[in-house]
Amino acid sequence: MEGVSVVETAAAKEENGGTAVRELCFTAPQNAPRMDKCLQLLMPDQSRSFCKKLLEGGRVTVDGKTVDAAYKPRAGSRILCCLPEAADPQEIKPEQIPLDIIYEDSCLLVINKPKGMVTHPAAGNYEHTLVNALLGYGCPLSDCNGDPLRPGIVHRLDKDTTGLLVVAKTNEAHENLAWQIREKQAHRIYTALCFGNVRADEGIIEQPIGRHPVERKKMAVVQGGRPAVTEYTVLARYGSYTLVQARLQTGRTHQIRVHFAYQGFAIVGDPLYTRQKSPFATQGQVLHAGRLELQHPQSGRWMVFEAPLPAYFAEILQKLETKRRD
């Protein structure tokens, strides 16, 4: 495409299992089309769905501002794309890892992911992920998301976040489920233990999220970031800790973790967003995706799934409850 040049490449790391990324920088040409079409012209070897995924994931910025598919860049603007490092799909090996399957039919599975399990393989981390376990389980998986490292993966949970994930077996189911999440038709509800005393019994945190300008493995509330909205309700207060229920209206990377840290109530045990030491043995953030509500992509039936708090989380609450009573 005339007027376009790749001016730099770089490697970075993301928190989800150390995913490597490449940063490609382009100069926008004269009369550039809207961003989704512009990306296809800039990167002709990439599929339309891959470019769409980059935009939906907040991986494209123009002059430092995260943009969506409809944005039209001005001539000379600096377009930065943060691409997952290419990997050989043959490196993803099936593994016989036990899965806690909450529900399964011909269209989808609902999995209760344990702490310490990365959702999908990434550069330098091709083993012991949920995808390896799904391949070992042997069920069909969708392949329409533009990333051979993420078969069936409609949405993800961070490595040390436990709880419910929906996995698509067919491309039709995948597209429908992704649409439900994108259009706020599906509901993902979490339980988190935060540092501090959250005073309001309920509230909405509405702050844009983008990649941290300096620490690339972190996200942050940044001007020009993608819109992000988290609703919350206080479930219990334990002196210097607060138990909250958080409901995602959007699905940005690390959204709940970033939003509560920004408010001054970081999630206990979070290795990225707080320097406060946890007095509990947590192995990462005390965060659990305990409820998932969605419409079945084929039958249209409304479905609600729940996963109880993992044992470590329940034990922490028991200790806090005992201390509160003393």
Catalytic residue among 36, 147, 158, 270: 158
Distance CA 88, CA 228 (A): 33
Alpha carbon distance 242, 223 (integer Å) = 28
**Tokens describing residue 179:** 């649409």
* Residue 263 near residue 228, CB atoms below 8 Å: no
| Residue in 171, 192, 188 with CA at minimum distance from that of residue 180 | 188
Count of residues in the chain: 326
**Whether 63 is catalytic:** no
Name the packing angle between helices 35-42 and 48-56 (round to 10°).
130
Q: Looking at the annotation, which residues are catalytic?
A: 158
